[in-house]
A and B are shown apart, each in its own frame.
Chain A
Amino acid sequence: MADPAETLAQQATERAVDLLISAVDINEIIGLVELNAVLSRIDLNALLARADINALMTQVDINALLARLDLNALLARVDMNTLLDQVDVNDLVRRVDVEGLVRNTDLGAVIATSTGGVATEVLDVARSQAVGLDQLVNRWVRRLLRQEPGPDVPPALLRPQAAVTSAEAAS
């Protein structure tokens, strides 16, 4: 059985602590603390190095987070024109593998159906054959005359990149 005097002392102490806490103004104490000075003494890098980010991330419910995200509101705040102004559409189109698209998708069938008339096919073949024969004759003439290759394209029709290359080769 506990000593009545000890019990009384404990109750008196608890009461005194309650009175003390109720008398203390926490806001005033926080106001006295120089938070910037405290924060400047904290090495955040060291703190983050000790933190297990992966473990932290496993606890995050991404689905719940995304469910709370209002994508429409977010997109409404995005200025698409500014965004598109920064996109080089020409470069984007150049990077599209059109030949791959034609070869591997139904686009090829569409082109074949819409433009694949007999006349077109005959014309393509005739022109292709003529170009091939031109190259053959040119090669043989150059070989016979021991001629250096001349320019392939008139100056005004040189593509910008080809023009730069030609200029560099000439200089």
Chain B
Amino acid sequence: MSAGASPADMVSYQSHYAGAVSRFAAYAVDVVVVTVAFELVLAGTSYCVQIVTGHHVSWNRTGVVVAVLLAVWQFVYFAYSWAVGGRTPGMALMGVRVVRADGTTLDPLHAILRALVFPLNFLLAGLPFLVILVQRERRGVADLIAGSAVIYSWDARSARLRFLARQPEVAADGRPPDLAVPGPGSTG
């Protein structure tokens, strides 16, 4: 079933409000990055302590200390990423960016505020996250509180040119060029 966006439409979505799928995918990538980095730091710390003191340190994953450390690490990760470039590594991968509600660059103060209220999205089994689906500008609870919005920011024009450049190679295979490489709108 086609999602309706043809390859030629790809460019026209640049700077549009990003939808829930792109944002959730970006968040999923960030969760993986945050978790892997956190585990690496814990393992590294245990290793260093063991070398220095000779005692084996094991972290209680359900303990308060680890939970607090993880919360702080997540806050730093998101706040710093949004304050510096308006995007986390996951958002950069999915080509979305946080801006102020009017489209201007997100300042550090609003980035910190957004990172502080971001966990609200996951209260009540993630119900606030669904606000993104129904809000006209695709802004979630954290966006509404922090005065931010998320937009598509990937270089769609270059992607379009790359898509066109690849077409002759695919056509040589004997398949119709438009079907050979999935466009942004074709979802299977």
Given the interface contacts A133-B19, A134-B22, A153-B16, does A128 sit within 8 Å of B185 by beta carbon? yes
Is B166 touching A121 in the complex (CB atoms < 8 A)? Answer: yes
Does residue B104 face the partner (Cβ distance < 8 Å to A)? yes
Residue tally, chain B, CB below 8 Å to A: 54
Task: Say whether chain A's binding surface is mostly helix, strand, loop, or mixed.
Answer: helix
**Min distance, Cβ A130 to any Cβ of chain B, angstroms:** 4
Chain B residues whose CB sits within 8 angstroms of the CB of A158 once the complex forms: 103
Inter-chain contacts of A151 with B (CB < 8 A): 17, 136-137
Q: Verify A135–B101 contact, CB threshold 8 A.
A: no
Q: Which applies to chain B's interface (DSSP): helix, strand, loop or mixed?
A: mixed
Interface stretch (choices B61-69, B81-89, B156-164) = B156-164
Q: Is B129 an interface residue (CB 8 A)?
A: no
* B10: Cβ under 8 A from any A Cβ: yes
Residues of A in contact with B, size category: 35 or more
A residues sitting closer than 8 Å to B (CB atoms) are: 98-99, 102-103, 107-112, 115-116, 120-121, 123-139, 141, 145, 147, 150-158
Known: A132-B4, A153-B17. 13 other contacts (CB 8 A): A112-B165, A116-B165, A120-B162, A121-B162, A128-B184, A131-B152, A132-B2, A132-B183, A136-B4, A137-B133, A141-B133, A150-B137, A157-B151
